[in-house]
Structure 1
C-alpha cells in the first residue's frame, strides 16, 4: 500500500452499517470540510465522490450516493452518508477488480480517493501494460489527472457515445478521433451533418456524396454505383405493389441481368436493343434460347448480380406481354396498372437525391475509395460527408446501409484481419433499426445491427454516437461493450441504458441528469466500475454550434 492511496489528510469518516451492496458512514469529529490536497480539491464526504474504505484485509472502492441527517426526532441530528460498493483494491499491487472480495467491518476508516489513483483505474484493471492508449479526459476539471484507455477496451466490443443535445457528445467524438490519428489507425467516419469537416490533414481522406455546401478542403466527390445495391434495396426503394407490379418488376430485373451476362459473353446481341432485352414483337423462343446459352445461369437469381437500373422502366414495359403464335404481343391493358410504379422509378432515378447513384457513374466508386484508403499506410481516417444527401425516399438510411453492408461483406471475407477498422456513425438513431418499403416490399436496413453483432470477430468495430438512445434497438445497445454517457435527462433514455448495460445500476444512473457539459460516465464490460470524467477539449472542434443570435441580431 502506498502513501498516495491512503492519506490521513483525506480521512473523513468511519463505517457504521453494512449491507450487501453499500455501507453507511458517520463523520469523524466533523472532519468533512473540503480541502485542497496535492493541488486538487477533495470534498471529504460529498455526493458523487469516490472513496476508499480501509478494511483489515484489503481496500474497498466506493462512491458516495447519499448524505442525510439521521433521525430527525433526535436532538443531536447526526449527519450520515451512504456509499455504493464498487470494487476491491489489492493492498500489495493496487490492482483494481470489480466486486467486493471482503466486506468492510464496523468502524473501518473511510478516505477520499486520490484523483490520480481514480484516473489510473483503467490501467489498474488490466493485467498487462499497454503501449497504445488514448487520452480522452481527466478526473477533475484542471486536467491534472488524465485518463487514458486502450483501444481494446474502448473499441474491442464496440463503443457508444450517448448524450442529450448540448452534453458534449460531438466534442467527445472529435477528441477520440484526434487520439486515434496519433496512432497507425484505420477509421471510417460517416458524417451526416458535415460537422467534422475540419479534419483535413495529410492523414485524412475526405470524400463527399452529392454536393455539400461547405465541403472539406481537398474533398473528392464519389459515387455509389447501382451494383452496390441488392435486389431487395431496389424493391423496397421503388415499392412495386405486391400482386400487380411486384412479379413484373422482378422479371424486369432478371431480364436486365440476362442482358449484362449476354454482353459479357458477346452472345445473342441481336436480342438486345438499347440495353434492354427486346420481347415485344419477338419470338418467345429468343428468351429461352438466351437463358440456355448462359453457363452460370444461377447468376440470374443472385441478388447482387449487376444490372442497369436506368433501363428498368423500358424493360418493365417489355415484360407486359401475351404470347400469340409464338410471338410476344404487348399487353396494354395490364401495363396501365404499372404506370404508378414507372412514375416512382423515374422520380427516384432522376432525382437530385440519388444523382450520385444513377447519373454520376464517371466519379470514383466509394468501394474503390475504401479499399485504396485501407491499403494506403499514410492514411488513417476516411471521412464520408453525407450532409448533402436529401431526406426524401429515406435516401440517407438506404445509403448508409449500403456502405455498412459493403464493409461487413469485406470483413466476412477476412479483408480487415491485418488491421482492424473502426466505423464512426454519427447521429446513429437516424440509421439503426430502420426499414423501408410498404408491407409487401418491407426491407430491414440492418447492416449496422449485423456489424454490432458479428463485426468484431472479423476486425470490424463500430462507434455509435446518438442523442436518442431510446431510438436505438436494445439488441444493438446490448452489443456495445463500452458506453460514454453524457447528460441524459429523458427517463426512457436512462432506462434503456440501464437495461442494455448491466454494469450501471439505478444509483449510478441517477447521476446522469446532473452531469455538466463535457462531463461523462464511462461504463461497460471492461469498465465495471463507472467512472465520471471530464472530456478533454479537442484541438479540432466540430462545427456543432447553433445560430449566434447575440451576434447576428445585434
Structure 2
C-alpha cells in the first residue's frame, strides 16, 4: 500500500503549529483572511476553512485532521474591517484542528489514533482529496466489489466507496430529518445492491420507492386495482401467518370471558381444517355433543394445531366463538354427564357479543382483505421464496402504502414478516446468498408495544434481525427520521451510521451515544448539513467522514403534493 499522492505540497500550505494538545492542535492561518480560495492542481484549496481536512507533517507519520474552529485574537479583530485595509496591519487568524488518524508516510498504512504527536513549528497542508479518499477506503479488498456511495463535498470527482461488509455486514442505520436525503441514500444503496447482483427486500411503507426499475420486482400488499388496466401485482399475507398474540392484539378481547373463548375457537377451527368430518357447515358444534370424538382428534393432531402457520377458516371465527359458549358438563343437575358438553350458555354469549362484532367487521372489511380474505392473491411468503430463487431480480419491493394502520394491521403484518424471515435465516436459507432486508420508516415498526394491558404485543422481529441476523446471513439497513424511537439495543448493533441533517436535540444525543467515534465537534455539523450531505460513521471507517451522497440510478419519488397549483 502506498500513498496515492504527495502528502505535502508547497501549493497546499495552510500554516504552522503553535499549540499542541493530545487530540487538538492550533495553527497560524496566514491565508485565512483571503476572500477567495485558490485552486491547486485542479482542486480547490481552502487554506483555512471550518471543516477542511489538513495533513500535518511528521518525521515518519502524517496526521490527518479537520479544522473545527477559526478565530482572531482580540487584538486583531479590527484588522479585517474595510476601514483598516489601507493600514499596514495584518490579521493573524488561529485555527483549531481536531486530530483524526495517522498515515505512515513510507507505506501509506492508516492507523486509528495519533502515533506521533506533532511538534511546535511543524507545517500543516490542505489534504488532497485523493489522500482523504485513501484514508477512508483503507480497508482493502476487491475494489470492483465496493459500494460506490458518495463523493467529497468540495471535490465531486473524488468518489468514496466502501466494502459491502463495512456497510451491510454489521447492519446500517440511515438517519435524518425529513428532507435531509435519507430516502436518496437508501435508493443509492439499493441501486448498488442491484449492480452487484445481490439480494434485497425493501419494505416500503410510503410507496416512494416505486421508481426502482433496475433488476427490481414490485408487489403491493394492501389496496385494490384502481382500474381494469391496473397491472400492479397485488399479494396477500394470509392470517395463518399471524400468531395468536397478533390476533389478540388486533381483536382486543377482554381478559375475563372473551380471551378464553377466542383461544378455544381458534383451536377448534384449526382442528376442523385437519379433521373436517367433525364439523357442521364449517363449525364445531359443542352444545349437547359428546366430547370423546373431539378430544381424540385433538390428541391426534396436537402438534399440527400448535404448529405456527396452521391453516383455518377465519370467516367462521365469530360464529365459532358462540359455539364455544356452552356449559362444560352435559346431563342434568342431579345427573351430570361429564362425557358431553352442556347446552348453550346464553350469558357467556352475551359477554362475547362485542368481541364477535369486532371480528365480523374486521374479517369482512375490504381494507383487511389481503389478510383475512386473500382469495386468489399470491401468498407473499411464497413470492419471497420465488424471488430468492430467481436470479433475474435483485430487489423485491413490498409496497405497504395501502395497508391500513387501523387495528395495528400494518405493524403486525410487518412484524410477522420479520419473524418469517428470521425463521428462514435460522434454517440456513441465506448462508450461501446473504439477504439484505431494508426497512424504510423504521420508527413505525421498532420499539413499539401494541394492544392493551391484557393483550400486549412487542414488535420485536426486526430487532431480532438486528441482534442475531448477521450470523445467519440476514442484514438489515434501517432508515428513520426519529432515531429516538429506535431501541438502544438495536442501535448498538449498527456497524455503520449514515447521518443526514438532524435538528431535534434528542435525536442528536441518541446518535452521539450510539456512535462512539462521533465527538462533539463532528456532531456540531449535524444541524447544518445540506440536502444529500451526510456524516458517515462506522466501525470500519477510521474517522467520521462528511460526504455528499451520489445520485441514485432511480431516485425515489419524495416530492410532496403542491399546495398551490
**Tell me, which stretches of 5 or more residues in structure 2 are unaligned?**
79-89, 332-336
Q: Is the Cα contact below 8 Å between 1:13 and 1:31 reproduced in 2?
A: no
- The two structures have a TM-score, normalised by structure 1, of 0.93
Larger displacement relative to structure 2 (209-218 or 103-112):
209-218
The 2-side partners of 1:157 and 1:117 are apart by: 26
Does 2:369 align with 1:355? Answer: yes
Alignment counterpart, residue 487 of structure 1, candidates 484, 488, 501: 501
The 2-side partners of 1:154 and 1:190 are apart by: 19
Q: Report the aligned-residue RMSD.
A: 2.2
Does 2:303 align with 1:298? Answer: yes
The 1-side partners of 2:275 and 2:304 are apart by: 12
Q: Is the Cα contact below 8 Å between 2:141 and 2:163 reproduced in 1?
A: no
Query: Where in structure 2 are the equivalents of 1:400-549 lying within 5 Å?
Result: 400-549=414-563
Deviation at 1:324, TM superposition (A): 2.2
Larger displacement relative to structure 2 (343-352 or 509-518):
343-352
Sort the Cα spacing of 1:217 and 1:131 in 2 relative to 1 into closer, same or farther, 3 A: farther
- The two structures have a TM-score, normalised by structure 2, of 0.91
Aligned to 1:121: 135
Aligned to 1:66: 69
The 2-side partners of 1:300 and 1:243 are apart by: 24
Query: Where in structure 2 are the equivalents of 1:141-160 lying within 5 Å?
Result: 143-160=156-173
Deviation at 1:302, TM superposition (A): 4.2
Aligned to 1:317: 322
Alignment counterpart, residue 11 of structure 1, candidates 13, 17, 24: 13
Aligned to 1:273: 280
Q: Say how many residue pairs are matched.
A: 541
Aligned partner of residue 157 in structure 2, secondary structure: coil
Q: Deviations over 1:314-366 (max 9, x none)?
A: 22111111122134210011221111111111122122221101112321110
**Tell me, which stretches of 5 or more residues in structure 1 are unaligned?**
264-268
Sort the Cα spacing of 1:99 and 1:432 in 2 relative to 1 into closer, same or farther, 3 A: same
Aligned partner of residue 529 in structure 1, secondary structure: coil
Sort the Cα spacing of 1:78 and 1:283 in 2 relative to 1 into closer, same or farther, 3 A: same
Q: Deviations over 1:214-244 (max 9, x none)?
A: 8999531111011211111111111111122
Sort the Cα spacing of 1:462 and 1:212 in 2 relative to 1 into closer, same or farther, 3 A: farther
The 1-side partners of 2:310 and 2:357 are apart by: 25
Sort the Cα spacing of 1:48 and 1:213 in 2 relative to 1 into closer, same or farther, 3 A: farther
Q: Is the Cα contact below 8 Å between 1:231 and 1:304 reproduced in 2?
A: no
The 1-side partners of 2:162 and 2:196 are apart by: 14
Aligned to 2:240: 227
The 2-side partners of 1:208 and 1:29 are apart by: 58
Deviation at 1:502, TM superposition (A): 0.8
Deviation at 1:297, TM superposition (A): 2.3
The 1-side partners of 2:354 and 2:308 are apart by: 24
Aligned to 1:102: 116
Q: Is the Cα contact below 8 Å between 1:191 and 1:384 reproduced in 2?
A: yes
Sort the Cα spacing of 1:436 and 1:388 in 2 relative to 1 into closer, same or farther, 3 A: same
Aligned to 1:25: 27
Aligned partner of residue 56 in structure 2, secondary structure: strand
Aligned to 2:409: 395
Aligned to 1:207: 219
Alignment counterpart, residue 242 of structure 1, candidates 234, 242, 255: 255
